[in-house]
A and B are shown apart, each in its own frame.
Chain A
Amino acid sequence: MKSSVIIFPGSNCDRDMDVALKKHGYKNKMVWHDDIDLPKCDLVVLPGGFSYGDYLRCGSIAGKSKIIKSVIEFANSGGLVLGICNGFQILTETGLLPGVLQQNKYLNFICKNVHVKVNNKENSYFKNIKKEILELHIAHNEGNYFCTKDELEVIKNNNQIALTYCNTEGSDEEEFNPNGALNNIAGLFNKNKNVLGMMPHPERMIDKYLSGNDGSIFFENLIKNYI
């Protein structure tokens, strides 16, 4: 499976993502934000970080960058686009995903392990995934997902909620919500389920010596579904 990781000025999880993809068998290329065309690939990843300093709003300038037109075209033609953390914020800025990511409920940056529940397995990302509750890692200041009532209605009707914050048993009560996200949303699909935005960082969880290795389950599953 060929992947492309976009580097924006201020991206800081680009290398981590490159390492994670290659470790799980993806043929990955790094793509500079000023490029106009995407290399031929099956998956585009918008990595975490602070693209363009996150000035104005998180992800807003990246949402207007040169490469992003090609990313939008790629997504609209059915290509897989994965946005992690700042990448999720960028996807909402481009309109590929509905809603916004606001500042965390308690106004602090949060870096810790969380549990998330896979809500929809009918897609390339989570089909046949061997664990439905994953322990992943979050590190963000703006992960508090919000959208209008009408948008939420559409999201629910289309089964677009990908991941929700929960406890080890999968209970998604408000107390297990780290950042105040609406309906505990940690990850979200577009209508066609080819675009996925998520706040947790699977690329930081690929080795038992790190915070854990449930991130590997995610990457292994995606490439397996592709083949």
Chain B
Amino acid sequence: MEVNEQIAIDHGLKIEEYKKIKELLKRNPNLTELAIFSAMWNEHCSYKSSRKHLKNLFTKGEKVIQGPGENAGVIDIGDEDAIVFKIESHNHPSFIEPYQGAATGVGGIMRDVFTMGARPIANLNSIHFGSTQHKKTKNLLRGVVKGIGGYGNCIGVPTIAGQTNFDDSYNGNILVNAMTLGLVNKNKIFYSKAAGLNKPVIYVGSKTGRDGIHGASMASAIFDDKIEEKKPTVQVGDPFTEKLLLEACLELMKEDSIISIQDMGAAGLTSSSVEMASKGKLGIELDLSKVPCREEKMTPYEIMLSESQERMLIILENGKEEKAKEIFDKWNLDFAVIGKTTDTQNLELLFNQEKVAEIPIDYLAENAPMYDRKWKKSKLPQKIDYPKDLFKSLKLESCLTKIISNPNICDKQWIWEQYDHTVMGDTIQKPGGDAGVVRVHGTNKAVAASVDSSAVYCYAHPLTGGKQVVCESWRNLISVGSQPVAITNCLNFGNPEKEKNMGEFVECVNGISEAAKFLNFPVVSGNVSFYNETKDKGIKPTPSIGGVGILNDYKNMLTMDLKKEGNLILVIGKTEGHLDQSIFSRIILLEKKGPPPEVNLFNEKNNGETILKLLDKKLIISCHDISVGGIIIALSKMCIKGNKGVKINSQIKLLNKFNYFFAEDQGRYIIEIENNNFAMVKKVLEENSVHFDELGVVDGNKLTFKDELNISIQDLNKKYKSWLKNYMIS
């Protein structure tokens, strides 16, 4: 078949891009070559719209062993230990086929981590769905949760934390972001850069089938009415094979035989072989007749584009093939020598002794298009001036119960109970806390991880929103008593060809970078998902931030559950009463305008570091960060978790009680301390110029405030726990 413009367009290429391919090659590509270009040049693989801006991210730090650009980022956690971690999106496939889409998202990110030699020790996820009223939401939620559980549970890696959100803007584009952390000896990290000539290129894992062909292109397109037709582009996962692959790879990695290794993710064999060769400035020759295939008569085109799961490409030292094959035989996995590294700087493909493609590697990687897309700056919206009598008819207690049973606030136990969160025997903080925490096996250290996003804030003002979500991640890690170390980001946005969407992207990235730099909280890995748009309606800008922190002694971990009657409750950080963009404004006052809460990076850092100082002096009993829903929601959760009441100080200086209790000002925490430590705590806070309020005392089994709030923790708990469960069984 002669390649022409129409065929190029059908492969998702723009006409100019097709012209550029012809110019570079100085000839017309054949169909296989065109397909390889289309796979490498799509947004998903080439980052062509985002590359320019991602360069601005803050990525350095003394604990960073590997920043962005590898399969995953790596940080030093002391001794010989390092943590490998990354977050990745699997949005488009999950909307088309929720179970397999989510499952293979989890499988893909785990492969990214164990490719580097790390044993996965924790999974997290951030999932966003449309309105709870939307007809698809329930099934999508059920399918995604089952998919995430189905894969992670089978591999035997605990899912320790996550985040679930509902918003109209995801009605036609759900988000499924999966994150994995792995533990590796820092002297035994494996990279994807090829080195050396005539080294054997090895294919291991599952056989190649016809599933997932054009998956990466599908992930780089907007949706229309015909998305159901794209179902065959969704990959099918087999966690059992992945478990075998994980064990086999880790076994092989104990030997000194791997030069480089790369998992076959998006764009399968194409992107893995090109990336390895490109990083090593080498050529690569593959004989596609040698690729283990699941189906008969697969063509080079199909073999190169298949996104069959659970496959890896390895470049081995010469002479190590037999030993390596023994390991893969033991685990019943395919093992085939399919090619070698060359000095031609070309990707050369053979099939039945015939050359079927030859493309200089540079054209596919370094010379891939890069766009400086137009973007529009967002203005900070005007603050809302709420009329005084708007609050008059409101009752504190009914506002609280309405918010605590809201889908975006309520308990998500129905979800995380379906994830194995205790396998591996080191989970010391389960889902439902501020961050999940797992011990570093056999040591006193522990790793905390959390995943956060604040699309509402990012939509209102992307720059502030970008900063805020990094701060929220930082705060969650502080709240469990860990020292925040680094982040990974999953940048979910609409169509970059639209100035507004592109502007949201650019400004969120700038916000993330600014906060990351100030907090010394570098970005070490991540991915970008554009074109989250259906029939012209895009999602709210949703960067998800996965944060990782370290506890040198896991026995110092903090939890949020209130511990002891008579203990004091303090609010750390100043409450200014900012209601715009709060959940209170949106669901009680029905006001969706206004700016998000201001982010003061100095206070954020200072308040967080002061919490850690208090923890060092063993002065904190419990801790919880204040986020969506404000002080009263944070306090309610602490009461529910500890099954204890709080008497809120009636003398507390309020601006207006609604502003005080529901404001979403940043940089705040609630802590529980022992009564007789108050003077010491006060001294530390004052020395560090940290504002605090004496909020109340742990007391009885009710949450009370003057005569305005008098609710039993049991009732509060019912409101908090029942919504999601009832929704899913109704």
Instruction: Report A95-115 CB contacts with B as 1/0, cut-off 8 Å.
Output: 000000000000011111000
Q: Which of A2-19 contact B (CB under 8 A)?
A: 9-10, 12-13, 15-16, 19
Interface string of B532-557 (1 = CB under 8 A from A): 00000000000000000000001100
Q: Is the CB of A210 within 8 A of B243?
A: no
Q: Does A221 contact B (CB under 8 A)?
A: no
- Chain A residues with CB under 8 A of B150: 109
Give the complex CA separation of A53 and B243 in angstroms: 9
CB distance from A179 to the nearest CB of B (A): 12
A interface size (C-beta, 8 A): 30
- A93 within 8 Å of B by Cβ? no
Quote the shortest CB–CB distance from B505 to chain A (angstroms): 36
Residues 208-230 of chain B: 1 if any A CB is under 8 Å from the residue's CB, otherwise 0?
00000000000000000000000
Q: Say how far B151's CB is from chain A's closest CB, in angstroms.
A: 11
Known A-B contacts A204-B422, A209-B555, A210-B422; the reply to A110 vs B240 at CB < 8 A is no
Q: Does A214 contact B (CB under 8 A)?
A: no
Q: Distance in Å from the Cβ of B473 to the closest Cβ of chain A?
A: 24
- In B120-168, which residues have CB < 8 Å from any A CB? 146, 149-150, 153-156
Chain A residues near B425: list those with CB within 8 A. Answer: 15-16, 19-20, 203-204, 206, 210
Partner of A111, one of B243, B417, B428, B439: B417
Cβ-closest chain A residue relative to B157: A12
Chain A residues with CB under 8 A of B423: 12-13, 16, 48, 139, 204
Taking the closest CB of chain B, its distance from the CB of A160, in whole angstroms, is 28
B454 within 8 A of A: no
The residue that B331 contacts in the complex, of A9, A55, A110, with Cβ under 8 A, is: A9
A49 CB-CB contact with B under 8 Å: yes
Option from B154, B156, B331, B424 in Cβ contact (under 8 Å) with A53: B154
- B58: CB under 8 A from chain A? no
- Report B-chain residues with C-beta under 8 Å of the C-beta of A49: 156
Write out the residue numbers on chain A whose beta carbons fall within 8 Å of the beta carbon of B427. Answer: 210-211
**A residues less than 8 Å from B244 (CB atoms):** 9-10
Cβ–Cβ < 8 Å partners of A210 in chain B: 422, 425-428
Which B residue's beta carbon lies closest to that of A51? B240
Q: Given that A12-B156, A111-B417, A112-B417 are contacting pairs, would A55 and B428 also be in contact in the complex, using a CB cutoff of 8 Å?
A: no
A137 on the B face (CB < 8 A): yes
Most chain A CB within a 10 A radius of its CB, from B240, B241, B244, B439: B240
A10 engages B422 (CB within 8 Å): no
Q: How far is the CB of A165 from chain B (nearest CB, A)?
A: 15
- Which residues from chain A sit less than 8 Å from chain B, CB to CB? 9-10, 12-13, 15-16, 19-20, 48-50, 52-55, 108-112, 137, 139, 141, 201, 203-204, 206, 209-211
Q: List 8 A-B contacts (CB under 8 A).
A: A9-B332, A10-B244, A50-B243, A53-B154, A109-B153, A109-B417, A210-B425, A210-B428
A50-B153, A110-B417, A211-B422 are known; give 17 further A-B pairs, CB within 8 A. A10-B240, A12-B155, A12-B423, A15-B425, A16-B423, A50-B156, A50-B243, A52-B240, A108-B146, A108-B417, A109-B146, A109-B153, A109-B417, A111-B417, A137-B422, A204-B422, A210-B422
Q: 9 nearest interchain CB pairs? A: A12-B156, A53-B240, A16-B425, A139-B420, A50-B154, A109-B418, A209-B428, A204-B422, A111-B420
